[in-house]
Amino acid sequence: MLTDAHHRIIDYVRLSVTDRCNLRCTYCMPENMRFVKSSALLTDAEIITLLETLASAGISKVRITGGEPFLRPGLIPLLAKINAISGIRQIAITTNGVLTHHHIPDLKALGITHVNLSLDTLQPARFQQITRRDQFAAVMQTLDNLLAHQMQVKINVVVMDQVNTDELVHFAALTREQPVSVRFIEEMPFNGQGHAFSGINWNYEAILDTLREKYTLHKLPDAPHSTALNYSIPGHAGNIGVIPAYSRTFCGTCNRLRISATGSVKTCLYGPDVLNVKDLMRSGEPLLPAIQQALHHRAANGFEAEQLHTSAPESMSVIGG
Give the binding site for ligand SF4 (CB under 6 A).
21, 23-25, 28-29, 66-68, 96, 118, 316-317
Please identify, using beta-carbon distances, which residue of 133 and 149 lies nearer to ligand SAM.
133
- Smallest separation, CB 180 to ligand SAM (Å): 14
Query: Distance (Å, rounded) from C-alpha 123 to C-alpha 255?
Result: 35
Burial code of 239-266, b = ≥16 C-beta within 10 A, e = fewer?
bbbbbbbbebebbeebbbbbbbbbbbbb
Binding mask 71-110 for ligand SAM (x = CB under 6 A): -----------------------xxx--------------
231 binds, options ligand SAM, ligand SF4, none, Cβ within 5 to 8 A by partner type? none
Closest residue to ligand SAM, judged by C-beta, is: 321
Residues written for the chain:
321
Q: Is 184 in the site for ligand SAM (CB under 6 A)?
A: no
- Smallest separation, CB 125 to ligand SAM (Å): 19
18 binds, options ligand SF4, ligand SAM, none, Cβ within 5 to 8 A by partner type? none
Q: Is 135 in the site for ligand SAM (CB under 6 A)?
A: no
- Residue 92: name the closest of 52, 54, 117, 61 by CA: 61
Q: Which residues contact 43 (CB under 8 A, 6 or more apart)?
A: none
Q: Which residues contact 196 (CB under 8 A, 6 or more apart)?
A: none
Q: Which residues contact 232 (CB under 8 A, 6 or more apart)?
A: 217, 218, 220, 239, 240
Identified binder of ligand SAM from the candidate list 156, 181, 227, 262, rule CB under 6 A: 156
Contact yes or no for 246/186 (Cβ under 8 A):
yes
Identified binder of ligand SAM from the candidate list 26, 65, 164, 181, rule CB under 6 A: 65
Q: Is 207 in the site for ligand SAM (CB under 6 A)?
A: no
Query: Distance (Å, rounded) from C-alpha 276 to C-alpha 14?
Result: 15
29 binds, options ligand SF4, ligand SAM, none, Cβ within 5 to 8 A by partner type? ligand SF4
Please identify, using beta-carbon distances, which residue of 75 and 88 lies nearer to ligand SF4.
75
Query: Distance (Å, rounded) from C-alpha 142 to C-alpha 79?
Result: 19
Residue 262: DSSP 8-state? T
- What residues line the site for ligand SAM (CB under 6 A)? 21, 27-28, 65-68, 94-96, 118, 156, 158, 185, 187-188, 190-191, 245, 316-317, 320-321
